[in-house]
Amino acid sequence: MGIERGPRATLAFTLNCAAFAMAVSAVTTSYWCEGTRKVAKPFCTGPVKVKQTYCIRFNSSDINNTRLVQYIYETGEEKFLMRKFHTGIWFSCEQAVDLVGFSCREFLEITPDHERGVLWLCIVGECLYISLLFTGGALMMVEMCQCCNMMNRLKLNAFAALFTALSGLFGMVAHMMFTTAFQLAVIMGPEDWKPKTWDYSWSYLLAWASFATCMASAVTALNHYTKTIIQFKFKRRNIEKNLRIKQKLLELDMPEGLWDLYLTPDTDTVDQHVNLPVNGIKPHCSPVLDTGALDSQGEEYC
């Protein structure tokens, strides 16, 4: 990604906080699904001062007089009323009779008795999702405080990535279980609740956005951990290689001034030039000089 360790940890923590905020907002609201219900209009009661469209009018306001013949003017679809409703994990709310305000009841009461286990699975999954997400964010915050050494911070980062990834899996299962529970309620729920039209609302979309952000946070934290481990292993391998080269030079009784020639970042070139003693016998010629160069007597420099 090309991001340093510090900004990468900050990005993972920021994504975790955003996912946690969206998850809490989604779970505590009741706009996972919304739609309309088709219900028959009730009879208008009391003196009719203004025209009321949410109830059925008589041709006389004296509805208590049984000697009068009452006529109903509404026919066909005019006898029915489309009342809006919205449903969440905890409550299902429907417009009042006069279309002003909402009356709510627990969604658990609407779910069929033999299918309530699906809704309980959704509730448990959402609680685990939020709990594990909060735990992962807390571990990320402790890691960013730099109150411990590097190795302990790496362990915290690994656990934070693990908790965040697990929370995302629980959240995905919980969201799918709510979809199943709601569809079962639509098919087998009580007649006084079944909707005519419905669709998913903003809380449902917010829940899935929280899941996507949660997984992005887990991937970012895991990438932070993996890149740091790879860098440590690379530096450790270079240090060990340099120590081995220095030990070889010490065994060859090389002058200290020549050590810098070999202890360079290009260690592959050094390994090609360094000749180790064979069977305890040192080579006749020095590996520093060109073996093809001859002195004035026609012998190689040694």
For 5-26, what is each residue's pLDDT tens digit? 568 788 999 999 999 999 999 9
CA distance linking residue 28 with residue 134, whole number of Å: 16
What is the domain partition of the chain in residue ranges?
8-59+74-235
> How far apart are alpha carbons 81 and 54 in whole angstroms?
7
What is the reported pLDDT for 147?
72
Q: The tokens of 278 are what?
A: 């064979």
Average pLDDT of each block of 10 consecutive residues along the chain (302 residues)? Answer: 64 94 94 87 64 63 54 60 87 81 86 88 95 93 78 82 93 94 89 87 95 93 73 68 68 56 48 46 46 42 40
Full-model pTM: 0.67
Q: CATH for 8-59+74-235, among 1.20.140.150, 1.20.1740.10, 1.10.630.10, 1.10.1040.10?
A: 1.20.140.150
Q: Tell me, what's the pLDDT at 191?
A: 84
Q: Report the C-alpha gap between 171 and 127 in whole angstroms.
A: 9
Task: Name the 3-class secondary structure at 146.
Answer: coil
150-188 and 202-251 helices cross at what angle (nearest 10)? 150
pLDDT score at 80: 72
pLDDT for position 257: 54
**Whole-angstrom Cα Rg for the chain:** 38
Tell me the CA distances in angstroms from 36 to 59, 80, 83, 142, one per residue in order: 29, 12, 5, 48
Q: Structure tokens of 163?
A: 């908790």
Looking at residue 79, its pLDDT comes to 67
